[in-house]
Structure 1
Amino acid sequence: MHINPHLFILPRTPGQIVWDYRSHKQFELNLEYSTRLAQLIDNPESFDTLNIIDTQFLNTGILTTSIQNTNVWGWDELSKIFHIGTKNIPCEYTPQNIYEWSRHYLDHCNDVLTSSAPDTNFVHRPTSELISLPAPAGLPADSLADALVKRKTCRSFTGAAVSLGDISTLLYLSLGYLKEREDDIDETVAEGLTARRSSPSGGGLNACEGFLHVQNVSGLEPGLYAYHPADHALSFVSTLPTSPLGQLLCGQHFINNLPVGLFITARFDKLWWKYQHSRAYRMAYVEAGHISQTFQLVATALGLGTWLTGALTDDQVETLLGLEDSAEQPLFFVGCGLSDGQAMCKELKALLNEGPPQ
């Protein structure tokens, strides 16, 4: 007899939850069952066919009669649990044709709409006066191909100021609700889900938001600002911390003089509302990636170098943005500014030029 290798246990007084994350099954165990499971984990050969608890464990898959092959996994168990646990969305029935899918999807949407949608207002934002941004500028008609070719990750910036006009264009084309697409809506779109961005969003929820980290932008005081896409405006959130930017980004201090950056956050409550399965957590990162790439391409078309990272000191960033214990969480950071285009900072290049230690 063997213990199912795809289990994890959550303590939930007065019992514990055993979760088979591969088959998406949960079992709540009282003290008697928990004690017996601990004994079987210690010695699976103590399985007793006359013990009703043991046979229940076998019938539910907590125990198996054969060793199950598990894939080699190079990271820790937490990432493995997440990846396997969000595979194969459980559903009672898979539509067999486009007509069945249409009915199934419509029923799902109607069911979702019976509950109140998440508040579209930024409930966690400090109340401050909106700072209107100038009208976004257009980009050259042939800029997309050039931007795709020229986009690169830079780690050396001059620190020179970025214009407020460029910031306006960056935010509008990355996170703004595009006025150019207001006619791209018909009666099939539910109220509150009509806003359209340049990047795709799961379920049209626009779950991602942005906080601007400003060190040197003409016309803006240094600080943290929340972007309001419906108004194409900013609101002041907080002053910059005394520690350098690199401290918020896991010690990447080559970026300390970056004039402006964007913390991309996700409103998990929006995703929970429409997609109750945790696979939607994957979609939060996919959406953040779309927005990051759009930001970089626009910045490149504006003649700015870009840099991005997923290495955040999350607790510090959450505190700085006022998102502690919130359903909105930071996922990613992307920044831009005038750059010499170097992929490595000069300090790292110097070390490389020294050669290996003798």
Structure 2
Amino acid sequence: MHINPYLFILPRTPGQIVWNYKDHVQYELDLDYASRLTKLIANPNLFDSRNIIDIQLLEAGILTITKIDSPPWGWDELSKIYHIGTQNIPCEHPPQNIQEWSRQYLSHCDEVLSKPAPGKERSLMTSAQRIALPAPRALNGDNLDDALRQRKTCRSYTGEAITLEDVATLLYLSLGYLHEREHDDSVANGLHARRSSPSGGGLNACEGFVLAQNLRGLEPGIYAYHPDEHSLELINPLPELPLGHVLGGQHFINNLPFGLFITARFDKLWWKYEHSRAYRMAFVEAGHLSQTFQLVATALGLGTWLTGAFADDQIEKLLKIAGSPEQPLFFVGCGASDGRAMCQEMQDLLQESPT
């Protein structure tokens, strides 16, 4: 007898939850069942075919007659649980043709829209007035091919200020709700807001917080971007310590004039998609937005830098979203740069002669 290798055990008074994260089923065990399972985990050979608990654990797939091999995995168990636990969306009746798919999807959308939608506004607990941004400037003369070829990660910045017009252009073309697409009749009611980047289910689950360190016409601070109004709202002053302290020691951010924390409103995803695979879509959307931001910044003649290495709890406090369904996923920034991928300190170390 063997223990299923795809089990995750979660203590929940008065018992425990055993989750088979590969097959997406879970069971709640009382003290008797939990105690028996503990003994069988220690020694599967104690299995007794006359014990009703043992039989039920076997029927539930918690125990297996044959050994189940799990794939090689180079990271920790938590990442393995996340990856496998978000695989294979359960579908009781897979559509057999496009007509069936259309009916099922329409039925799903109707069911979702019958439930109260999460609020469009975030609860940021601030009474600050919103700051209207200037209209974005046109980039029609810029070549997408040039932007794609020139985009690179830079870690050396001059600290030169960025104009508010460039900031407005960056925010509108990456996170803004495009006015040019307001009258698109091919989308469901209530989901008309469209960005330049794709979004799972058209939910626009990702949001943005601006790091303003040296912007002409805007006081330094942390601002929430409101894409429907194309406006900013002051959330917090800049932290006393350099931001490099909360971004994994990456101190070349310290003179970056402009940055964007990309967050995800998980409550929007929960509203439409109950399966945990939708968690992946938050990161996919953040990636789309990040690339769009970088291409626009490159077209504006700015160097770009991005990272996913930061202290989540400190960033959550800085953005005033701690304890909420909105969570930080990524950071991207830009500024005038000499184009070097390495900071000067790293170059100095590499040029040192061995002793």
CA contact (8 A) 2:124 2:235 kept: no
| Structure 1 residue 125 displacement after superposition | 4.8
Quick one: distance in 2 between partners of 1:222 and 1:14?
51
Contact 2:198 2:285 in 1 (8 A): yes
The one-letter code sitting in structure 2 at the alignment partner of 1:5 is P
1:176 paired to 2:176: yes
Task: Show CA shifts across 1:57-101 (max 9, x none).
Answer: 111110111111111111110110000000000121110100000
CA–CA distance in structure 2, aligned partners of residues 84 and 127 of structure 1: 43
Residue equivalent to 1:311: 309
In 2, the alpha carbon distance for the partners of 1:56 and 1:353 equals: 66
Counterpart of 1:255 in structure 2 is 253
Q: In the alignment, which residue of structure 2 is the partner of 1:204?
A: 202
Q: 2:219 aligns with which of 218, 221, 231?
A: 221
The TM-score, its normalising length taken from structure 2, stands at: 0.98
Q: How does 1:218-297 map to 2 (within 5 A)?
A: 218-297=216-295
Q: Using the aligned pairs only, state the percent identity.
A: 66
Aligned to 2:56: 56
What is the CA distance between 1:247 and its match in structure 2?
1.2
Where has structure 1 moved over 6 Å in runs of 4 or more? Answer: none
Aligned mates of 1:296, 1:125 — CA distance in 2: 30
Pairwise CA distance, 1:128: 1.3
Structure-1 separation of matches of 2:241 and 2:2 = 52
Q: 1:195: which partner in 2?
A: 193
Q: Does 1:37 align with 2:37?
A: yes
Structure 1 residue 95 corresponds to structure 2 residue 95? yes
Q: Distance in 1 between matches of 2:207 and 2:305?
A: 19
C-alpha RMSD over aligned residues: 1.0
Question: Residues 3 and 63 of structure 1 are in contact (CA less than 8 Å); yes or no, is this contact kept in structure 2?
Answer: yes
> What's the CA shift for 1:314?
0.3
User: Any conservation in 2 of the 1:125–1:226 contact (CA below 8 Å)?
Assistant: no
Query: Any stretches of 5+ residues in structure 2 without a counterpart?
Result: none
Say whether residues 1:86 and 2:86 are aligned partners: yes
The alignment covers a number of residue pairs equal to 355
Matched, 1:299 2:297: yes
1:128-149 Cα offsets, whole Å, 9 max, x none, are: 1010111100014342111000
State the TM-score, normalized to the length of structure 1.
Answer: 0.97
Q: What SS is found at the alignment partner of 1:299? A: helix
Q: Amino acid of the residue matched to residue 25 of structure 1?
A: V
Amino acid paired to 1:81: I
Match of 1:107 in 2: 107
- The whole-number CA distance in structure 2 between the counterparts of 1:128 and 1:94 is 50
Q: How does 1:8-23 map to 2 (within 5 A)?
A: 8-23=8-23
Q: Does 1:126 align with 2:132?
A: no
Deviation sequence 1:17-58 (CA, Å, 0-9, x none): 000000001000000000000000000000000001101111
Q: Secondary structure at the match of 2:215?
A: coil
Distance 1:243 1:74 in 2: 35
Q: Which runs of 5+ in 1 are unaligned?
A: none
Q: CA deviation at 1:171?
A: 0.2
